[in-house]
Structure formats: C-alpha cells, structure tokens
Chain A
C-alpha cells in the first residue's frame, strides 16, 4: 500500500537558519503530495501541495518540489523564524483531492523548534 516516510525529528534550529525536512513516498499510482503543519493546540493546516511531477508547491516561504524520479517531496525554507515552530507532516493522496474518497496517508511528523 501507499506509505510516506519523513526524516526523524525533532529538529532544532536557530532563527534564520536553512530548513530541510526530507520526505519520501511509495505509491502505486500518481499521488498528490502535501505538507501539513500543526501549531500547538491547533488542527492540521495545509501548508502546500503539488499534484504532478516537477510541480513546486510554495507558501509562507516554504517550498517543496514533487520529484517522481526520487519519489521525494522535501520541504525547504531559506530562513526560519521562531513562529515556524510546529509539527510538519508530509502526506499523499492516491487521487487528486478534487475527486471522491481521497484518503490521506501521512508521514510520522517532524517537530521543528526554532530558537531566537
């Protein structure tokens, strides 16, 4: 079945450092890929998405590129802020979210702490 593997956490960085959180996936079809973020005490929020190979999702300074050849969707940010401290989840859907069903398969989540 489908699966998502994220780099192990937690990750601790200083403000303005470069962030990479690795994500690789296994899927039988052509999945859509997502990054979700969970701030303390809140629900899962969509951070960015990509629906086909070589698409780049971006939001709030975060980027991730759908790499079919390496089955990866690594999350990057050039300069993190204290407010980026949260748990980040990589996920895939085996259909685009515009069609029915579309369960999400999540990675383990990576706790990011950014210190001032």
Chain B
C-alpha cells in the first residue's frame, strides 16, 4: 500500500537554527498538508498545499514557517529560527480522496 514517508524520524536542533522537515507524499495525490502535535496536546493543522501554492494556513503558520515542493516529489516544511515551543511531532499528509499520514518527525529544540 502506498505510504507517505517522512524524514528524519527524530531531529534535535539548537534554538535559533533553521530546520527542514522532509516528506514524500503519495505520487498521484493532489493535496499536501502539515500538522503538528505538541506533546500532550491536540494535533493542529498548519498548512495545506495544492497546485504548487498554499491553499490554506492556520494562525500558527506565521512567517517563521514555509513550505515547498521543490522537485515534484518532495514536500518540505522549513522552520526558521526555531524556538523551544516549536518542539513537537510534525505530521505530513497527502490526499486524493482520503488522507494518508506519514509517521511523523519528532522535532526537539534545545
């Protein structure tokens, strides 16, 4: 069964550094998403991406965040100048009809 692949599974970064979280969505899917889950809290929507542009973003998705689909297969989330409160599990998802989620990247900012 097709999968959404996320790398790395766990990343530790220093506060103030930039990180790029990578995702390979399912190839024939049209919509791409990033969600995050801070430990012990709800899974929260960050952004959706369709036709090579952002289609919707939440209030969390400020100028610190950006997304890109650089080569038609990867879908990346860049977090500039990371803060301690960015520590969370980040899930990528893609959708044709139903959603398929990746296993997540656990980001720890120290």
Contact = CB atoms under 8 A, between A and B. Distances in A.
Interface in B90-110: 91, 93, 95, 97-104
A46 interface: yes
A97 B97 contact: yes
B88 to A, nearest CB: 13
B15 interface: no
Given A106-B43, A108-B41, A101 B48 contact: yes
Interface residues of B, number: 26
Secondary structure call for the A interface: loop
Given A43-B91, A108-B41, A103 B33 contact: yes
B40 to A, nearest CB: 8
A101 B56 contact: yes
B43 A109 contact: yes
- Interface bracket on A: 20 to 34
Contact of B101 (A43, A98, A100, A103): A43
A89 B104 contact: no
Secondary structure call for the B interface: strand
Contacts of A101: 31, 48, 55-56
A46 B98 CA distance: 8
Given A41-B103, A43-B102, A45-B101, A102 B95 contact: yes
A91 B42 CA distance: 10
A72 B98 CA distance: 22
Given A101-B56, A103-B56, A104-B35, A46 B45 contact: no
